[in-house]
Structure 1
Amino acid sequence: MDLVDGNFELREIQKLHGHTDRVWSLAWNPATGTGDIPPVFASCSGDKTVRIWEQSSSSRSWDCKAVLEETHTRTVRSCAWSTSGKLLATASFDATTAIWENIGGDFECVSTLEGHENEVKSVSWNASGSLLATCSRDKSVWIWEVMPGNEFECASVLQGHTQDVKMVKWHPTMDILFSCSYDNTIKVWAEDGDGDWCCVQTLGESNNGHTSTVWALSFNAEGDKMVTCSDDLTLKIWETDVGRMVSGDDRTTWSHVCTLSGYHDRTIFSVDWSREGIIASGAADDAIRFFVESKDGLVEDPIFIFLKLNLV
């Protein structure tokens, strides 16, 4: 399918009601939506709850199957499923991260992670589900090791950022962690071989990075490109040599490819890169924009095209 030349529509299929305050984050369960397993996603909100939504196989409508409540005492800011889809992690402004498991059809909080001094802003599982990362307004990033019996042990506390850390995200295939912050930078973290985690690269203004708060990041399916979004009204594309990363070459770095500017006129809070290659960005200007990489073989450097989609 040629996304650049195609004529596409985005059609609203259903509006879901239930939360009584703003919805902060959504997360698809990666173990659903294939074969006979209906798709499932989680939503978290300022109303201190998490809702589990499932699509009916017969009517195709979405229904709320569970409300996870009375655990967090403040806004639930972020949620993420483990790769297996068995565990759901939720991060809250109450400075805790809760781990939920579906047991006999009911979701139970099986562990509560404490340690951050204040609001936990984001949570992310690594590809194997053996590590969990959290970040906070306290400027720190915590890495948790998953132990038997749903126990979690803090493996490292990363202190490189100088301001509020907005998001953490694991690389899709390797145990390399990325964090973005109010200090205008993205930091890349890796384990040094002796069990210690350290910052191996900082992407900032000095290497064509953002000039204001970096709110979010996302990877393409192959893991060799990354998109970031910022308060500076831009999206930036970064790339690396995944082959060298896999071989363990510690000189592998991420470099700036291009900057997408002029598409939003207020802070860009969210960005996601789909498995089909579409980048979607959402901003405070109430707009969602879509981009795709041009596959023009005559052009050596990647070019990203703005997609004009009809909203129905």
Structure 2
Amino acid sequence: MDGGAAELREAHRLAGHADRVWALAWNPAPGPGAGPVLASCSGDKTVRIWKRAPDGAWHCSDVLEDTHNRTVRSCAWSPDGKLLATASFDATTAVWRYDGADFECVATLEGHENEVKSVSWSPSGALLATCSRDKMVWIWEVQPGNEYECISVLPGHTQDVKMVQWHPFLDILVSVSYDNSIRVWAGDGDDEWHCVQTLTEADNCGHSSTVWAVSFNLKGDRMVTCSDDQTLKIWDTSADLSQPKTGEGHESWRHLSTLTGYHGRTIFSAHWSSGDIIASGAGDDAICLFAEEQSGMAEGPSYKLVLKKDKAHDMDINCVRWCPQDPRLLASASDDGTVKLWELRGSLLD
């Protein structure tokens, strides 16, 4: 893999939010013939939907507002692309139905004591996970008639939970927290959910400060986490992921690699592309790209920096997300109030 010819070129700058942009979500199934659809959420209490026109220009097609009365911190599309969940500092999570043209708020989920920091759909779309500053992770089950029932409240974290993320094809949930830990949750088939593994600095070469984000690779056998300690960590599981089991058999995430020295401030976001490239965004306003080193070394896989884009934004980068339909298209969101779209050029994905 030759990263020397790689370039991350700014292709579009999407302006419209009146405050910092916290998070991004690409629609995984925008529909036949439709181009990519991107959602962004902000401290301005809104969610904006961005679409690419046939001529290649991007425009804001919808502004979702008047539902949340505080910052919208997180957004996530359902696997079929028909629902968008938005999590807010107003302690609620809203669910919007999308028919390809219009949005309708069909549910508002309440229960967390304070700010909801993250929302994530399970791979089947039957479950929704939320987490909050109240230290709790909630799991909601989708019911007929746009109803959502909380089936489990998961204690365990001792501080603000920053993010929840489902495994790409198993009902395994990972949460990361201000308490520096990563927790892995699994169900037993009877709506009973348990923490099956905790990754900490003391026990598993974990992070030494707040863990901000987690992302899985396409195969689901590795995940990356990022932290206030200015590192990214790669985790690997030796479990047999070909069989959709839960509970025992998935308590096997192990530390594989630590990427350090590439960012000068907190790393707020990391995302693994379908092309096996890890992107990170940080408080130093930079975006870094990492790929597995194809060296065949006996000690196992390692990862290397293949590109760094300094001053990608004017302020902190809060989120980076690869487009599922185009592995060369990366979106980034910043405290500067903008969303940028980047084209990865060169030989990295060849």
Alignment partners' CA distance in 2, 1:162 and 1:310: 35
Alignment partners' CA distance in 2, 1:259 and 1:26: 25
What's the RMSD between the two structures over aligned residues?
1.7
Alignment partners' CA distance in 2, 1:247 and 1:66: 38
2:213 maps to 1:216: yes
Instruction: Quote the residue 1:13 is aligned against.
Output: 11
Alignment partners' CA distance in 2, 1:133 and 1:103: 23
What is the TM-score normalised by the length of structure 2? 0.85
What is the TM-score normalised by the length of structure 1? 0.95
From 22, 25, 29, give the equivalent of 1:31.
29
2:250 maps to 1:246: no
Shift of 1:194: 2.8
Contact 1:95 1:116 in 2 (8 A): yes
Instruction: Quote the residue 1:53 is aligned against.
Output: 50
- Once the two structures are overlaid, the 10-residue window that deviates more, 302-311 or 112-121, is 302-311
From 37, 54, 60, give the equivalent of 1:40.
37
Shift of 1:29: 0.2
Contact 2:216 2:224 in 1 (8 A): yes
Shift of 1:191: 0.5
Contact 1:22 1:47 in 2 (8 A): yes
Contact 1:9 1:309 in 2 (8 A): no
Shift of 1:149: 1.5
Instruction: Quote the residue 2:180 is aligned against.
Output: 184
Alignment partners' CA distance in 2, 1:121 and 1:5: 35
Shift of 1:10: 1.2
Instruction: Quote the residue 1:278 is aligned against.
Output: 277
From 125, 147, 152, give the equivalent of 2:148.
152
Instruction: Quote the residue 1:263 is aligned against.
Output: 262
- Once the two structures are overlaid, the 10-residue window that deviates more, 299-308 or 220-229, is 299-308
- Once the two structures are overlaid, the 10-residue window that deviates more, 271-280 or 290-299, is 290-299
Shift of 1:17: 1.2
Instruction: Quote the residue 2:323 is aligned against.
Output: none
SS in 2 for 1:308: strand
From 79, 96, 101, give the equivalent of 1:100.
96
Alignment partners' CA distance in 1, 2:244 and 2:103: 40
Contact 1:8 1:310 in 2 (8 A): no
Instruction: Quote the residue 1:112 is aligned against.
Output: 108
Alignment partners' CA distance in 1, 2:257 and 2:135: 28
Contact 2:239 2:249 in 1 (8 A): no
Shift of 1:263: 0.6
Alignment partners' CA distance in 2, 1:245 and 1:189: 19
**Residues 288, 244 of structure 1: CA spacing in aligned structure 2 closer, same or farther, 3 A cutoff?**
closer
Amino acid of the residue matched to residue 240 of structure 2?
G
Contact 2:287 2:308 in 1 (8 A): no
Amino acid of the residue matched to residue 90 of structure 2?
D
Alignment partners' CA distance in 1, 2:32 and 2:241: 35
Instruction: Quote the residue 1:174 is aligned against.
Output: 170
Instruction: Quote the residue 1:135 is aligned against.
Output: 131
Structure 1's unaligned 5+ residue stretches are: none
**Residues 146, 288 of structure 1: CA spacing in aligned structure 2 closer, same or farther, 3 A cutoff?**
same
SS in 1 for 2:264: coil
Cα shift readout 1:158-180 (whole Å, capped 9, x = no counterpart):
01100000000000010000000
Alignment partners' CA distance in 1, 2:267 and 2:279: 11
Alignment partners' CA distance in 1, 2:157 and 2:224: 20
1:220-231 to structure 2, matched below 5 A, reads 220-231=217-228
Q: How many residues align?
A: 308
**Residues 22, 300 of structure 1: CA spacing in aligned structure 2 closer, same or farther, 3 A cutoff?**
same
SS in 2 for 1:11: strand
Alignment partners' CA distance in 2, 1:12 and 1:149: 43
Contact 2:170 2:244 in 1 (8 A): no
Instruction: Quote the residue 2:332 is aligned against.
Output: none
Cα shift readout 1:20-55 (whole Å, capped 9, x = no counterpart):
0111001000002x7521110101000000011110
Q: Percent identity among equivalent residues?
A: 64
2:220 maps to 1:234: no
Structure 2's unaligned 5+ residue stretches are: 311-341, 343-350
